[in-house]
């Protein structure tokens, strides 16, 4: 286990984890008068899957929204592909390759599956089109349901569509907020397989917010545990012990 708040330790992490794609340093952020995130530092390296763990309300979604530029930061810095994100609005960060699947899925319910996918393709052009076959091979059900309205799909199918849409924007950093929430086990397995398959390409990093620990363990390389807006533990996922889970993650 790597203890946090030691600058020497961060240097050690970077060495063993490869080149950083995203670095969040000493971040404080929140809403209006309430600071939710306090002194948060995390790194996501190239081709790495990082799990952000923690109980309800600890600030996981707020951290994602700060990285994406929807929540402004009070202190600290965010650097992505070598650039400071200060002053970059959400759409600029998206164009730089941040892909987002929000908590609770984000599809257009009145559009068909195909039209939902087209919306992403219209943003990404040929790079996205090259990913279309991949999306259909990761989530074959989407190909079978192209004409169906998004809103009539099951929760799991909607989640697959939401992830498929994000992949078609051809991101460098795919940000998934609780993709397994309320979803049946067979589809959870497919989403985990999809993460392994994306990882094998070595072209994309993933931030995975997750409360389903088996899934986080199976899918991620490195973890951070948040409690009351601060990182309290971090380490390679192989070190995510049952005692840590008991202490910080079980309800
Ligand atoms: N738009 C908002 N305005 C004000 N406070 C907010 C807003 N969104 C979240 N909060 C507060 O920020 C804190 C952290 O919420 P956040 O949604 O980031 O937690 P979370 O870890 O993602 O929780 P969950 O696991 O339930 O999704 C909570 O106290 C929440 O009430
Ligand atoms: Mg959340």
Q: Domains plus CATH for the chain?
A: 1-94+174-179+205-251 (3.40.50.300), 98-170 (no CATH)
Residue 16 banded pLDDT, cuts 50, 70, 90: confident
Residue 227 banded pLDDT, cuts 50, 70, 90: very high
Q: How many CA atoms lie within 13 A of 122 on its CB side?
A: 6
Could you tell me the distance, in angstroms and rounded to a whole number, from the CA of residue 24 to the centre of ligand 2?
A: 18
Ligand 1 interacting residues, C-beta cut-off 6 A: 31, 36, 54, 56-62, 103
Residue 26 banded pLDDT, cuts 50, 70, 90: very high
| Residue 8 predicted with pLDDT over 50 | no
For residue range 84-125, list pLDDT tens digits in order.
999 999 999 999 999 999 998 789 999 999 999 999 998 887
- The C-alpha atoms of residue 95 and residue 83 are separated, in whole angstroms, by 13
- The C-alpha atoms of residue 208 and residue 219 are separated, in whole angstroms, by 9
Could you tell me the distance, in angstroms and rounded to a whole number, from the CA of residue 136 to the centre of ligand 2?
A: 28
| Residue 2 predicted with pLDDT over 70 | no
DSSP notation for 172-217: SEEEEESTTTT--HHHHHHHHHHHHHHHHHTS-EEEEE-S-HHHHH
Q: Which atom of ligand 1 is nearest to the CA of 55?
A: 25
Strands across the sheet containing 73-80: 34-45, 20-31, 73-80, 83-84
């Amino acid at each position: 286990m790597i203890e946090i708040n030691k600058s020497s330790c961060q240097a050690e992490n970077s060495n063993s984890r490869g080149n950083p794609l995203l670095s969040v340093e000493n971040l404080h952020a929140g809403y209006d008068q309430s600071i939710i995130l306090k002194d948060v530092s995390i790194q996501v390296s190239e081709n790495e899957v990082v799990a952000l763990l923690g109980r309800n309300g600890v600030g996981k979604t707020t951290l994602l929204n700060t990285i994406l530029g929807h929540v402004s930061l009070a202190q600290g810095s965010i650097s992505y592909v070598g650039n400071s994100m200060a002053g970059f609005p959400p759409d600029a960060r998206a164009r730089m390759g941040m892909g987002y699947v929000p908590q609770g899925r984000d599809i257009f319910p009145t559009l068909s599956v195909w039209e939902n996918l087209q919306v992403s393709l219209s943003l990404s052009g040929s790079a996205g089109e090259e990913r279309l076959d991949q999306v259909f091979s990761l989530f074959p059900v989407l190909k079978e349901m192209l004409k169906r309205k998004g809103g009539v799909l099951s929760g799991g199918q909607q989640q697959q569509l939401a992830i498929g849409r994000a992949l078609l924007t051809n991101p460098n950093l795919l940000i998934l907020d609780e993709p397994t929430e309320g979803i049946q086990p067979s589809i959870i397995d497919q989403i985990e397989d999809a993460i392994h398959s994306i990882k094998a390409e070595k072209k994309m990093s993933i931030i995975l917010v997750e409360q389903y620990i088996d899934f986080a363990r199976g899918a991620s390389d490195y973890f951070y545990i948040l409690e009351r807006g601060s990182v309290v533990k971090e380490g390679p996922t192989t070190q995510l012990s049952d005692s840590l889970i008991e202490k910080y993650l079980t309800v």
